[in-house]
Structure 1
Amino acid sequence: MSETLDQRSDDATRSVVAADAADERLIRHQGLQGYLHSTWARLKGGELGMLPVVFGLIVICLVFQLNEPTFLSSRNLVSITQFAAPTGVIALGIVLVLLLGEIDLSVGSVSGFAAATMAVLVVNEGLSLVVAMLAGVGVGLAIGCTYAFLYVKVGVPSFVFSLAGLLAFQGALLYVLGDQGTIVLPQDSGLREFARDRFLTDAQAYALVALVVLVYVGSKLLDIRRRKAAGLTPGSPVGVAVKAALLGLGLGYLTYYLGIDRGWSYLPVLFAFLVVVMDFALRRTRWGRHVFATGGNEEAARRSGIKVTRVYVSVFALTSSFAALGGILLAGQLTSVSQSSGTTDTNLTAIAAAVIGGTSLFGGRGSAYSALLGIIVLQSIQSGLNLMNVDSSVRFIVTGAVLLLAVAIDSVSRRARSSSGRG
């Protein structure tokens, strides 16, 4: 009798493994050969992920380094990470709204208006920096909620109300600044110090690298445990160890190399933290799954019980809040707010960064890391062209060409996914 029960248990275990291996949605190849096989299958099916932007970044670095040997110097890389961060925060909000298949053309104007609000409260009204910054972000939050109302309740397309916001908040920026035109932040402002002069010590930087590796290992081991509990094929602990080692070595060497100059600035560290938090929220929470579902097919999401209205409200609110925060950080970096704040190429750069980083314009596909990779690509192009003393007009042409290429790759991969039945 005991032997019969053991045989049934073994049969049940084999049936679970067989179901896992047979279901294409759950399939998990094991070993190096299986990993390479599954990767090739995803690429053939149009699942390119961030591969095009990573490859493009490598090409950009090689081209500029061959023409200007100082491009990959420690000092220039520190400058790239530092100046990319504020606009990258704005691009992070653009990623969210693009995941819904919508657009926000007013993030630049919102960033300038929020920064002006903060500066006026600090300099003219004498309020504390923290209160003024909260007020600036609150302005962005209120704008996002207004956008959500116009979209959900009134039915105004996002292109229309955000275009109207682009114009309206440019006017609001001029009104808030008044006759002053430009407001210079105080020399002892904590925001100026944070955005320009604060860098991690070597001990803090390496401790942060160790923390990142530990968090990565912990999340992967938790995934393995959950798959085992669900009766699915777990990932390989050896693979996790290898990837964690590569991650630690890569971040450790980058930290060492940046430390030759000034090291990690507080500003890009904050940006990276926001990216990680939003990536976790998108991939590991119910809200994130609802965002992807709504962006993929709104009607199907509604029929499945998802509160689509809440999703739109949260995303529009976050997009404008990130725009406001990015504008405030940019003001601290530039040490002032002027009539041109947020009104130059901020919109272009933020939207282009999200798309170039791999977020689809068609909704439902993308990652928080798109903002990080995309803004690094654009800032690298700007830095390289500046080092080569190329006219700014060329930078706009090159940026437009890279953006067009990114959209073309997204369209081709979308067709490949459709033809392979992946949606």
Structure 2
Amino acid sequence: MTAATVLDERPAPGARRIVDAVKGPVGSIGLMLLLTIIVGLAWVGPAFFAPSNIQIVGVSVAVPLIVAVMASFALLAGVVDLSIGSMVGFGAVIFNQLVAAGMDPWLVAGITVVVGAVVGLTNALVIVKFGAEPLAVTLGMLTLLRGLSQVIVVNAPPSTLIEPLYNVTQGAVAGVPVLLLIGIGVTLVAAGVVSKTRMGRHVQAVGGDPRAAQRAGIPVARVRVVALVVSAVGAAIGGILYVGQLGSASNILGTGLEFQIYAALMIGGYSITRGGVGNPIGGLFGLLVVAGITNILNVQFFDPDYLDLIVAFILLAAVLVDRFRGGDVFE
């Protein structure tokens, strides 16, 4: 066989790009999402894509998607923020209580976002300035915020209906929830920031190898501070949106949300043990896979405990595939 024959047998550049995309983390989870859709159509039937069902799935995944996209910046920077679920609940409680007390909703929304920023700065100060372990710090913040929510809301929370916010959280365009469209838009913007901007490259570099990033002149401490603030602010915004959806905020809202989000992000190609790995598009696909499986089981009246088993299996499979692919190596 001549060298020319060998060259002729190589895949064309376009075909190579397709193969590389499928082998990558986003491509892998994209195929898993496609498989979930096929199973849904085969098992549930055309009702799986009915507008009412799309509305149910879209509303359920929209707020976690927005929170996950914002939290993924901290994850890319090499910090796991376990306090996001409690920050969602705490932000919702603050927003709901102050609006119910008669304050202007827009002013209260600003206050809630500022509270989220303060929480993110507090996490960053302890982690970046004093070198504390991120998991321990954010776990402590999780407990603190959950306790504050319990203290603020002792009995049943007051109901609040904010019409403009309700219209956004419950509205739909061509059968697709407005909030899901907003979440997808946020995801696309975040993906562009991560892959196309200097800030995104700095975040990935800091998460992948902070010492090398420091030697390259990247302000590692500043990048991690910003990433943690973005994570907490995203959670605070998620709390506001939940009040718009639910009309109130209980003191257990957001409990366990951090595990749901990080499981979906890991399924979508992120690494919990190493920063600099992942893309918001993969996180979107991961959340849609989990939401699709949940919907299939609910429609078929399966015991919800099966969902945990299936998500755990998918998560383990994603981790193994990522290890075989060498996805935990930052480039």
TM-score computed with the length of structure 2 as normaliser: 0.90
Higher gyration radius (CA): 1
Match of residue 357, structure 1, among 268, 290, 295: 268
Alignment deviations for residues 379-399 of structure 1 (CA, whole Å, 9 cap, x no partner): 111111110111121112222
In the alignment, is the contact (CA less than 8 A) between 1:355 and 1:403 conserved in 2?
yes
Does 2:170 match 1:191? Answer: no
Q: Structure 1 stretch 381-390 or stretch 331-340: which is displaced more?
A: 331-340
Instruction: Provide the C-alpha distance between the structure 2 equivalents of 1:360 and 1:106, rounded to a whole number of angstroms.
Output: 18
Alpha-carbon offset, residue 342 of structure 1: 0.7
Does 2:69 match 1:61? Answer: no
Alignment deviations for residues 109-162 of structure 1 (CA, whole Å, 9 cap, x no partner): 0100001000011002x1111111111121111111111111111111110011
Does 2:277 match 1:303? Answer: no
Aligned to 1:396: 308
Match of residue 294, structure 1, among 191, 200, 206: 206
Structure 1 residue runs of 4 or more that deviate by more than 4 Å after TM superposition = none
- 1:317 partner letter: V
Aligned to 1:37: 16
1:405–1:94 CA distance, 2 compared to 1 (3 A): farther
In the alignment, is the contact (CA less than 8 A) between 2:29 and 2:286 conserved in 1?
yes
Alpha-carbon offset, residue 37 of structure 1: 2.7
Q: Structure 1 stretch 82-91 or stretch 109-118: which is displaced more?
A: 82-91
Identity of aligned residues (%): 28
Instruction: Provide the C-alpha distance between the structure 2 equivalents of 1:72 and 1:372, rounded to a whole number of angstroms.
Output: 18
- 1:174 partner letter: Q
Q: Mind listing any 5+ residue stretches in structure 2 that lack a counterpart? A: 1-10
Match of residue 386, structure 1, among 287, 298, 301: 298
User: Residues 7-46 of structure 1: matches in 2 within 5 Å?
Assistant: 33-40=12-19, 42=20
Aligned to 1:135: 111
Match of residue 108, structure 1, among 79, 85, 88: 85
Aligned to 2:52: 75
RMSD between aligned alpha carbons? Answer: 2.0
Alignment deviations for residues 313-354 of structure 1 (CA, whole Å, 9 cap, x no partner): 0000001111111122122112221122011x3112111121
Alignment deviations for residues 205-241 of structure 1 (CA, whole Å, 9 cap, x no partner): xxxxxxxxxxxxxxxxxxxxxxxxxxxxxxxxxxxxx
TM-score computed with the length of structure 1 as normaliser: 0.71
Does 2:227 match 1:315? Answer: yes
Q: Mind listing any 5+ residue stretches in structure 1 that lack a counterpart? A: 1-31, 201-258
Aligned to 1:329: 241
Instruction: Provide the C-alpha distance between the structure 2 equivalents of 1:77 and 1:299, rounded to a whole number of angstroms.
Output: 45
Alpha-carbon offset, residue 71 of structure 1: 1.8
The secondary structure found in structure 2 opposite 1:364 is: coil
Aligned to 2:157: 182
Match of residue 168, structure 1, among 130, 133, 144: 144
Aligned to 2:257: 346
